[in-house]
Amino acid sequence: MALKTLSAKAAAALDRELMSTGAFSLDQLMELAGLSVSQVVARVHPIKQGRRVLVAVGPGNNGGDGLVAARHLFHYGYQPAIYYPKRPKNDLYQRLVKQCEDLEIPFVDDFPAALESTDHVVDAIFGFSFSGEVREPFPAVINAMAETKIPVTSVDAPSSWDIHEGPPESGVGSNFHPNVLVSLTAPKPLVQHFKGRHFVGGRFVAPSIAKKYDFDVPKYEGIDQIVEISDNQVKI
């Protein structure tokens, strides 16, 4: 099966469709997206390789996926820590933070310092709504993720990459190549520039909606929320 990519515009429209005609709430979609991310981390970084996972959380829904993933990882036995410098006031994010606080997951302020004591990193800073040049305080975070030897799993997009064109030619993000990518619902065109392990997650799209948006739902096995795919399965 050839997996088609979704443009940033189509991915945003799909999200709106799932929450209107699809009758999902944002909480539900984010829970399933974050659950997929947690399953990918557990698959690529089994707990015996180290329990500590640093989750970098951005200001939008990509960040929300990261908060959900941190909660699930805690319940699997990992020791997550969360870097969340820009916190919107909205109720959904506040509830996700409270759920993590109740688990005593630490919130850290100094991302480069936190990188010194972790075994894996989740990049949940920006997803399909990222555009332009990376604004403060995120350039130092992207640079640190680009330079570290610790494996990085990016949620939906390597943060700072253009959703269609991939890594910027110069400046922040030009040298950022995460080890693992979890595309949510469908890969975005930037995957043609991505060389690491690639998974699709977000097992919630009805066939009728996928057909309307002209993409294929990958074949998930059993009860898995994720499926690993190879480069030659993706059609740009």
Ligand X SMILES: NC(=O)C1=CN([C@@H]2O[C@H](COP(=O)(O)OP(=O)(O)OC[C@H]3O[C@@H](n4cnc5c(N)ncnc54)[C@H](O)[C@@H]3O)[C@@H](O)[C@H]2O)[C@H](O)CC1
| Amino acid, res. 18 | L
The verdict on 184 binding ligand X (CB under 6 A) reads yes
Sign of CA dihedral 203, 209, 210, 213: negative
The answer to whether the annotation marks 131 as part of a ligand binding site is yes
Q: Indicate the residue among 147 and 214 with the shorter CB distance to K ion.
A: 147
Distances (CA, A) of 74 to 18, 28, 52, 101, 188: 28, 19, 10, 11, 29
Which of K ion, ligand X, none is residue 154 near (CB under 5 to 8 Å by kind)?
Answer: K ion
Q: Pick from 39, 143, 185, 225: which binds ligand X (CB under 6 A)? A: 185
**Mapping DSSP to helix (H, G, I), strand (E, B) and coil, where does residue 180 land?**
strand
- When binding is defined by CB under 6 A, the residue of 39, 61, 118, 154 that contacts ligand X is 61
Q: Is 129 annotated as a binding residue?
A: yes
Indicate whether 161 belongs to the interface with ligand X (CB under 6 A).
no
Q: Is 130 annotated as a binding residue?
A: yes
Q: Which does 184 bind (CB under 5 to 8 A by kind): K ion, ligand X, none?
A: ligand X
Three-state secondary-structure class, residue 234: strand
Q: Would you say 166 is a known binding-site residue?
A: no
135 by Cβ neighbours in 10 Å (0-12 / 13-18 / 19+) ranks as exposed
Pick left, alpha or beta for residue 82 (phi over 0 → left; psi -120 to 50 → alpha; otherwise beta).
Answer: beta
Binders of ligand X among residues 33 to 52 (CB under 6 A) are: 33
Our finding on whether 155 is near K ion (CB under 5 A) is yes
Edge to edge, the sheet with strand 180-184 lists 107-108, 79-83, 52-57, 120-124, 152-155, 180-184, 197-201, 226-229
Q: Which stretch binds K ion (CB under 5 A): 108-116, 119-127, 165-173, 202-210?
A: 119-127
Is 31 among the residues that bind ligand X (CB under 6 A)?
A: no
CA atoms within 13 A on the CB side of 209: 21
Q: Does 154 bind K ion (CB under 5 A)?
A: yes
Measure the CA–CA gap between 108 and 4, rounded to whole angstroms: 38
Q: Cβ of residue 40: shortest distance to K ion, in angstroms? A: 13
Which segment (104-112, 126-134, 170-178, 210-218) binds ligand X by CB under 6 A? Answer: 126-134
- d(C-alpha 77, C-alpha 84), whole Å: 21
Q: In angstroms, give the least distance from the CB of 48 to ligand X.
A: 28
Could you say whether residue 154 binds ligand X (CB under 6 A)?
Answer: no
Q: Residues comprising the binding site?
A: 61-65, 123, 127-133, 156, 159
Q: Residues comprising the binding site for (6S)-NADPHX?
A: 61-65, 127-133, 156
Which spans of this chain sit near ligand X (rule: CB under 6 A)? 14-15, 29-30, 33, 58-65, 126-135, 138, 155-156, 184-185, 202
